[in-house]
């Protein structure tokens, strides 16, 4: 079977990776030691064995705890540089990194510490690995609109270091329209817009992400299959869905990877892509997501080509970056 080799070698863009979700247990322990922090886990193995999730919230609780070891600019740099090295080995040519500043600013870490560390890693990856990498600031939807506006205010002096904004964290009970005014402001500022919608939440959240927030891509979006009119809209407007198969499996969105609807989305003409979401927590980087979902659901080389094509088409890469792929 030549398909796994093709999937791994295929050039691709990664559009849905939370950089805090790339923090491996080994790096969490190393940063804790460097920063003089004590973790509530005795060892790397003990921490890793706590990674058994039943839904999105059960993951988020442990994910925010893991991110608490990040204090200094160098910590953010080391995390992002490690991910970009790993992505380059998976033949990722372009990556758009989500980050959650409120997780850090709430602990007293300055916005510029976060953004400057991540941005420097993106710049070094460009020269050292030939990979283009950009940043998307995500607002935490379980927090208030006021907190999101305050976060945007803190990022204003650093806006040239981010390409867009997103919306993540606990989906149920926090519909996109809660952030209508913040997203309108970001749109005026010329930022690209994306939002998590239809991961655990209903198709209605995908509709409001599109029509109220006016996002250009939907992160996850797998619940769209329950709404035929929405499927048509997504296909017609070529709204990309950044699908994360191993995440969906580990957070019990699908009982089994074999039940994943990626093939259904592609066959309905939607611009789906494959991504890793939080690879340190869900058991695999982007190539592992490709090989496992293809093996479990019987997708073909034609689907592989579509997924790679979609990832480049849906990216927010600059024309200069695009010239490198062509
Ligand atoms: N933050 C990190 N990973 C996430 C996910 N899969 N959904 C929502 N928020 C997240
Ligand atoms: Zn995500």
Domain span including residue 155: 3-315
CA angle (101 as vertex; 54, 113 as ends), nearest 5: 135
Distance CA 262, CA 259 (A): 9
Whether the model clears a pTM of 0.80, i.e. scores above it, the answer is: yes
- Burial of residue 88 (CB within 10 Å: 0-12, 13-18, 19+) is middle
Which DSSP state fits 277? B
C-alpha–C-alpha distance, residues 221 and 241, integer Å: 6
The domain spanning residue 113 has which CATH number? 3.20.20.140
Residue 324, in any domain of the structure: no
The preferred substitution site among 277, 279, 282, 289 for testing ligand 1, maximizing ligand atoms within 8 Å of CB, is: 277
Within a domain: 326: no
- Closest among 276, 261, 262 to 304, alpha carbons compared: 262
- Does 16 count as an annotated binding residue? yes
Q: Which residues are catalytic?
A: 199
Q: Which residues line ligand 1 (CB under 6 A)?
A: 18, 21, 56, 63, 168-169, 196, 199, 247, 277-278
Nearest CA to ligand 1 atom 10: 169
Whole-Å CA distances, 155 to 124, 141, 186, 257, 263:
22, 17, 11, 38, 38
Tell me the C-alpha distance between 92 and 70, whole Å.
25
Question: Rounded distance, CA 240 to CA 293, Å?
Answer: 18
| Residue-level pLDDT at 326 | 80
- Exposed, middle or buried: residue 214 (CB in 10 Å: 0-12, 13-18, 19+)? middle
Q: By alpha-carbon position, which residue is closest to atom 1 of ligand 1?
A: 169
Is residue 239 in a domain?
yes
What is the number of the ligand 1 atom nearest to the C-alpha of 100? 1
How does pLDDT run across 45-79, given as a tens digit for each residue? 999 999 999 999 999 999 999 999 999 999 999 99
Distance CA 306, CA 322 (A): 18
Task: Tell me how far the alpha carbon of residue 273 lies from the centroid of ligand 1, in angstroms.
Answer: 16
Residuewise pLDDT in 10s, the chain (326 residues): 999 999 999 999 999 999 999 999 999 999 999 999 999 999 999 999 999 999 999 999 999 999 999 999 999 999 999 999 999 999 999 999 999 999 999 999 999 999 999 999 999 999 999 999 999 999 999 999 999 999 999 999 999 999 999 999 999 999 999 999 999 999 999 999 999 999 999 999 999 999 999 999 999 999 999 999 999 999 999 999 999 999 999 999 999 999 999 999 999 999 999 999 999 999 999 999 999 999 999 999 999 999 999 999 999 999 999 988 88
Query: Residue 324: what pLDDT?
Result: 86
Which pLDDT score is estimated for 2?
94
Q: Which of 139, 167, 196 to mutate to test the pocket of ligand 1 (most atoms within 8 A of CB)?
A: 196
Closest CA to 134 of 326, 264, 321: 321
d(CA 305, CA 206): 26
DSSP 50: T
* Cα 226 to ligand 1 centre (Å): 21
Tell whether 321 is covered by a domain. no
303 annotated among ligand-binding-site residues? no
**In the chain, how many domains are there?**
1
Taking the CA of residue 169 as reference, the ligand 1 atom at the shortest distance is 9
Q: Do the beta carbons of residue 132 and residue 94 sit within 8 Å?
A: yes
Q: If you measure from the C-alpha of residue 301 to the centroid of ligand 1, how many angstroms do you get, rounded to a whole number?
A: 29
Number of neighbours of residue 106 by Cβ within 10 angstroms: 15
- Closest ligand to C-alpha of residue 281 is 1
Helix ranges (H only) for 24-110 are 25-34, 44-49, 56-67, 73-89, 101-105
CA distance 131 to 84: 8
Q: Is the ipTM of this complex over 0.90?
A: yes
Residues making up the chain, counted from first to last: 326
Contacts 24+ apart (CB under 8 A), 23-29: 23/66, 23/67, 23/69, 23/70, 23/79, 23/280, 24/82, 24/280, 25/280, 27/78, 27/79, 27/82, 28/66, 28/69
Q: Give per-residue pLDDT as tens, 18-42.
A: 999 999 999 999 999 999 999 999 9
And the tokens for 15? 């559009």
């Amino acid at each position: 079977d030549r398909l796994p080799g093709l999937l791994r070698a295929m050039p691709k863009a990664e559009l849905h990776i939370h950089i805090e979700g790339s923090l491996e247990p080994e790096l969490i322990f190393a940063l804790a030691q460097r920063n003089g922090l004590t973790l509530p886990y005795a060892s790397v193995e003990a921490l890793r064995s706590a990674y058994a999730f039943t839904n999105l919230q059960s993951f988020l609780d442990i994910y925010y705890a893991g991110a608490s070891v990040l204090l200094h600019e160098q910590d953010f740099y080391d995390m992002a540089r490690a991910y970009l090295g790993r992505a380059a080995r998976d033949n990722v040519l372009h990556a758009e990194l989500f980050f959650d500043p409120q997780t850090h600013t709430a602990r007293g870490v300055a916005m510029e510490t976060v953004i400057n560390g991540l941005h420097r890693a993106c710049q070094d990856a460009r020269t050292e690995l030939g990979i283009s990498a950009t940043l998307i600031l995500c607002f935490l939807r379980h927090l208030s609109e006021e907190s999101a506006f305050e976060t945007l205010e803190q990022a204003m002096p650093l806006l040239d270091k981010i390409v867009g904004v997103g919306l993540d964290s606990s989906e149920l009970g926090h519909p996109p329209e809660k952030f209508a005014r913040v997203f309108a402001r970001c749109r005026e500022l010329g930022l690209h817009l994306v939002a998590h919608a239809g991961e655990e939440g209903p198709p209605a959240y995908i509709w409001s992400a599109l029509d109220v927030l006016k996002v250009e891509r939907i992160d996850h979006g797998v619940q769209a299959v329950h709404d035929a009119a929405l499927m048509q809209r997504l296909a017609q407007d070529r709204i990309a869905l950044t699908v994360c198969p191993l995440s969906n499996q580990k957070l019990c969105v699908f009982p089994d990877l074999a039940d994943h609807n990626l093939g259904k989305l592609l066959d309905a003409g939607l611009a789906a892509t494959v991504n890793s979401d939080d690879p340190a927590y869900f058991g695999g980087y982007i190539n592992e997501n490709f090989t496992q979902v293809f093996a479990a659901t019987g997708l073909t080389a034609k689907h592989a080509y579509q997924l790679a094509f979609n990832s480049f088409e849906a990216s927010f890469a600059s024309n200069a970056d695009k010239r490198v792929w062509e």
